[in-house]
Amino acid sequence: MAWMADRVTERTNPALLWPEVKSILLFGMAYTPDFDPLEILQKSDCGAISSYARSRDYHDVIKGKLKSLARFMLDSVTNPNSAAHEGDVAPHGVKVFVDTAPVMEKSLAAAAGLGWQGKHTVLVSRAHGNWLFLGAIYTTLALPKDAPTSDHCGTCTRCLSICPTDAFPKPYQLDATRCIAYLTIEHKGPIDRALRPKIGNRIFGCDDCLAVCPWNRFAKATREIKLKARPEFLEPLLADLVRVDDTAFRALFAGTPVKRTGRDRFVRNVLIAIGNSGDATLAEEAQNLLQDPSPLVRGAAIWALSRLLPFATFAELRASYRASENDSDVLEEWDAPQE
């Protein structure tokens, strides 16, 4: 995630992103699911998609709302008849950001009083739990400051304890290289073999640390219809997902955050879930992808087969594959010890 370091100075100093900014307004929109996101983890034949990605892309939903609000703000300021800003007709500007610019939304939201950054590094609200999308409006208007909210995590460490890959070296610190959300969404290459078994059937993101936060007991399910989970993403079968080509992938996930990951990385994730399923009937699905154009997919297919097939069967398949295909990109997967 080098893109975060590339513009770190702008993240830590908003004036470098926009010198004219005088105030920053932070907004949170709840996407609280109306189901238990951890239940799907017990269904090894299905893929677990993070709650935020089972619906319309939040960037589109929130940015549209913030743009409307920003226009309302400017209209109110430039309207001579506005009771709140009577006589203030000076030109003002706004910029809207939703997770697409060097903006430290969580730190700014904490400073604005929306909540605090929990031990899992995600913003937590006493009223809405931690299922929150964040957006920001930068403006040249000089507005009064809100008071920050104090930390209310107390001695609770549920979010740290539940992490399958031990991605939290200590409270309030996340090691992205071990985080399942990073590995299944941002990471472009093969996933560390030591971490693959811990991923389980999570094929896009991970909700574990979010789902166990006690402050969620005050949260209400989202009222925004565009953020409601699509039925086909609640319990999608691995056998169906692993068969998608690029065209089918784009059609299935159109308008959702999953689409940005791309078909190859997504199928890599599905194959890891298949390898973790313990279901030998899915071995055929993995074997069908040994000739896939993507080395990333081929490598994941080999790993899945190494987990599902008996040692002798896998050894025969390995010998046959090498005899017919000299694929240097995935030889390392063939040569790795069978788990």
Give me the catalytic one of 45, 88, 99, 175: 99
% helix / strand / coil in the chain, to the nearest 5?
45, 10, 45
CA–CA gap between residue 199 and residue 195 (Å, rounded): 7
CA–CA gap between residue 129 and residue 30 (Å, rounded): 9
- Is 36 one of the catalytic residues? no
- The 3-state secondary structure of 227-271 reads HCCCHHHCCCEHHHHCCCCHHHHHHHCCCCHHHHHCHHHHHHHHH
Q: What's the alpha-carbon Rg for the chain, to the nearest Å?
A: 23
The alpha carbon of 48 is separated from its chain's Cα centroid by a whole number of angstroms, namely 12
DSSP label at 38? Answer: T
Q: Is 136 helix (H, G, I), strand (E, B) or coil?
A: strand
Catalytic residues: 99
